[in-house]
Chain A
């Protein structure tokens, strides 16, 4: 950081001005970020249902985490859905972004780019409602198209095998445009000369991709892995609207489970314990990704 380079040669600070500039952020941070964060820590040690006085519960809420079989199942379904969504975004997103690099008229490229991105700006509840129509077992367009190819109808939203797959499809469909766009930006920052030099050297498209594009794109891939992991683990609207988390807990996510414990059962202490451990999981996942990234990301 540049600020610490001349600590002694710059005696006069801007303390008063800094305070003025920072006050709006500090105030909103204290009340709406720090207080709830401390609150979630405190609450997790209490047994409280909003109506009666809370009682101190020690580590009971945390012990419950380990005996709650539903929670384990919900972690399982969340992880399953999040990982597939992550893979679709990172792999299919890269494929589509690379294909968009093909020479084509500017307006066609713009059309593709905008249509890929559009679902990203539409609200998840609108998206999920549209897909609830399309995935309807008897009347939905998706099953109709399957029927044309001679396949059987699939109970997309009502079977525990297909419900999580539906959530995966709908969420990937909504978010892939973001990944594609970030990839496009990453691809554009790769110096043209490198690829041209490789073409002169007679390298084929496949070799060029793995030897030049992929290593130079690795910071972008890493960024997308981190962002998509965090986002896909926090899904709420799609399962809520599409499947209500069911059947059973097959398409339920942690955030949905937390929401139901907190605002369905009013089991606020336990919901807080779920929240804290979930935040820890996210932090650990991100840390692991950062640690691994040193082995495979390549910075220019």
Chain B
């Protein structure tokens, strides 16, 4: 500690921590409240003011009711299938394309890359109508494919990985080339193993985006059984609601817990990935 601890310094430090603690409470309290609500035996208890952690009839019933009201595990499975498949497919298409843009020489490369960057400007919200028509033309609406295919191409992903690949030293590849390794071999055995963090970055950003998306499933899917979790929650709170708030709270809590577990387990990567995505401009 410095020797010049004046009253002003102490006050500034106290104020800093007060602001940070208030912000942290404001951000975490709603989650604590919903978790507590998920265990409430009655709506009166859930809405009791002020809220208390103590409860006279703590119950697990709400979780069972969630699965009775809506096909909750189906939603969950659908979300896993969609986000998982999109992520794997996006990692394949983006890494191969990024490698071509970063390392290969071919005609039209500049134009093609400009097209990729240009497509960043057109969000899916704008093209959602014809996208729906394309999907119904090839008979994919109302199936999980309608949620998987539109997510596979990612201009952002190609851009992110290209920047990382370009930063890798050339020497390793030159050595492999002299040994007669093919382009694919170089890519799979040299570039990819060196790109773990940036691949993980893209994987995490991609997975969370598609795990949370509400618009595409609302547009593409009409069968309840084929919906994903975000729509499932809206259905649980809306059309399929029995009016029990505890059940809705339990549904939300069940949707958050897996995210929380992944978040805590992968926090280092998540922090790194978002931080690095912000340094690219």
Residues of chain A whose beta carbon lies under 8 Å from any beta carbon of chain B = 1-4, 10, 13-15, 17-22, 24-25, 28-29, 31-40, 43, 95-96, 99-100, 102, 104, 111-126, 129-134, 139, 141, 144, 173, 177-178, 181-182, 184-186, 189, 205, 219-220, 222-224, 226-227, 230, 234, 236-237, 240-241, 255, 258-259, 262-263, 268, 271-272, 275-276, 278-279, 282-283, 286
Contacts and interface: CB of A to CB of B under 8 A. Distances in A.
13 contacts: A21-B97, A28-B93, A32-B152, A104-B17, A122-B259, A123-B211, A123-B230, A123-B255, A126-B255, A133-B33, A223-B278, A223-B281, A268-B133
Please tell me the size bucket of the interface on B: 35 or more
Given A122-B259, A182-B278, 13 more contacts: A14-B105, A24-B93, A31-B134, A36-B129, A114-B263, A115-B28, A117-B271, A121-B270, A122-B256, A130-B33, A133-B33, A133-B37, A182-B274
- Interface core residue of B212, B215, B218, B255 (most chain A CB under 10 Å): B212
B231 A126 contact: no
B104 interface: yes
Contact of B20 (A40, A112, A237): A112
Contacts of B106: 13-15, 18-19
Interface of B: 12-13, 16-17, 19-20, 23-24, 26-28, 30-31, 33-34, 37, 47, 49-51, 92-94, 96-97, 99-100, 104-107, 109-110, 112, 116, 119, 121-123, 125-134, 149-150, 152-153, 158, 166, 183-184, 187, 208, 211-212, 214-215, 218-219, 229-231, 233-234, 237, 245, 248-249, 252, 255-256, 259-260, 263-264, 267, 270-271, 274-281
Contacts of B263: 114, 118, 121
Nearest to A241: B234
A99 B276 CA distance: 21
Contact of B215 (A31, A129, A133, A255): A255
A116 B24 contact: yes
Instruction: Give the top 6 A-B pairs by smallest Cβ distance, nearest first.
Output: A39-B130, A182-B278, A185-B275, A36-B127, A123-B212, A18-B106
A1 to B, nearest CB: 7
Contacts of B109: 3, 18
A119 B16 contact: no
Query: Chain A at the B interface: mostly helix, strand, loop or mixed?
Result: helix
B62 to A, nearest CB: 14
A283 to B, nearest CB: 5
A39 B129 CA distance: 9
A117 B270 contact: yes
Contacts of B104: 13-14, 17-18, 21
Nearest to A114: B267
Given A3-B109, A118-B31, A141-B51, A276 B233 contact: no
B96 A22 contact: yes
A240 to B, nearest CB: 7
B99 to A, nearest CB: 6
Nearest to B150: A32
B274 A28 contact: no
B126 A181 contact: no
A120 B105 CA distance: 39
B278 A220 contact: yes
B13 A219 contact: no
A33 B150 CA distance: 8
Contact of B153 (A4, A25, A96, A119): A25
B121 A279 contact: yes
A122 B212 contact: yes
A226 B278 CA distance: 11
- Interface core residue of A38, A96, A272, A275 (most chain B CB under 10 Å): A275
Contacts of A102: 13, 16-17
A28 B153 contact: yes
A276 B126 contact: yes
A263 B110 CA distance: 38
B230 A35 contact: no
Contacts of A219: 281
Nearest to B274: A181
Contacts of A181: 271, 274-275, 278
Contact of B105 (A13, A263, A286): A13
A141 B92 contact: no
A35 B134 contact: yes
Given A25-B94, A100-B20, A144 B133 contact: no
A144 B126 contact: no
B50 A1 contact: no
Contacts of B99: 21
Given A123-B255, A181-B271, A25 B97 contact: yes
